[in-house]
Amino acid sequence: MREEAKTPAPEVAGRRLPRHIAIIMDGNGRWAAERGMARALGHKAGVEAVRRCVRMVAKRGIPYLTLFSFSSENWIRPQSEIADLFSLLRRFIRKDLAELHQEGVRIRIIGRRDKVPDDIVRMLDEAEALTRDNTAFNLIIAFNYGGRAEIADAARRAAQAVERGEISSKDIDEARLEGFLDTAGVPDPDLLLRTSGEARISNFLLWQCAYSEFVFLPVYWPDFDEKALDDALNEYAARDRRFGGVEARA
């Protein structure tokens, strides 16, 4: 991965690539149900899909990948399922962190840390600290994340900066507020994918996806593979991105 995860040219093999892909990983439970399996096994298969996805995206020279792993609304799920998800996260970090670090992956976690078990918060902090100086590939994990909450938090941080006298309220424009978001310094996603066939963004990156291209794939997340990724990339390459203007822009 280290040698392949380079900033892409505007076109690779005749195909325009996004710089940043964001993915709503949906369908683990339905994948398991259709096979007569427990939902926990669907989530386990979903973790394997995460491993594949990181490598597939990096191999194509796309430097940023954001994965929606746990929504702030997911707390309403059964406690047993939440416990299974947290257990899988613990195992993923313990098993994969060293390898990701060795391959030059920088990990960044976005989302609130409240309500998250202390041991997981420590693991997330460790993953960020260990990989902070890596430059080969950027993996952003949205955990206990909600887009509206992120914007509200950014507004509160801006207000606190005004109270401390660091900025004036007159200084707050879109660019300034963007600097208070969890994703400050990360380019907006060019392409938002959602698996499972559902066609909504579920409170994910509401600010950042203002001009993202959306592609909704009919495959469940555990079945996400090279073909599914390339289907999405081909559809993205065929889009005219005008950003409110008349002529297409890269």
Domain residue spans in the chain? 16-146+189-237
- Whole-prediction pTM: 0.90
- 17 near 62, Cβ under 8 Å? yes
For residues 3-24, give the mean pLDDT.
66
What pLDDT score was predicted for residue 241? 77
Condensed to tens digits (0 to 9), the pLDDT of residues 179-217 reads 999 999 999 999 999 999 999 999 999 999 999 999 999
Condensed to tens digits (0 to 9), the pLDDT of residues 212-246 reads 999 999 999 999 999 999 999 999 999 987 666 55
Q: Give the catalytic positions in this structure.
A: 26, 74
Fold classification of 16-146+189-237 (topology level): Undecaprenyl pyrophosphate synthetase (3.40.1180)
Cα angle, residue 82 at apex, residues 80 and 84 outer, rounded to 5°: 70
Per-residue CA distances from 250 to 13, 128, 174, 207 (Å): 16, 31, 22, 20
Q: What residue has token string 């994910």? A: 204
Q: In terms of DSSP bridges, do strands 105-110 and 191-194 run parallel, antiparallel, or are they unpaired?
A: unpaired
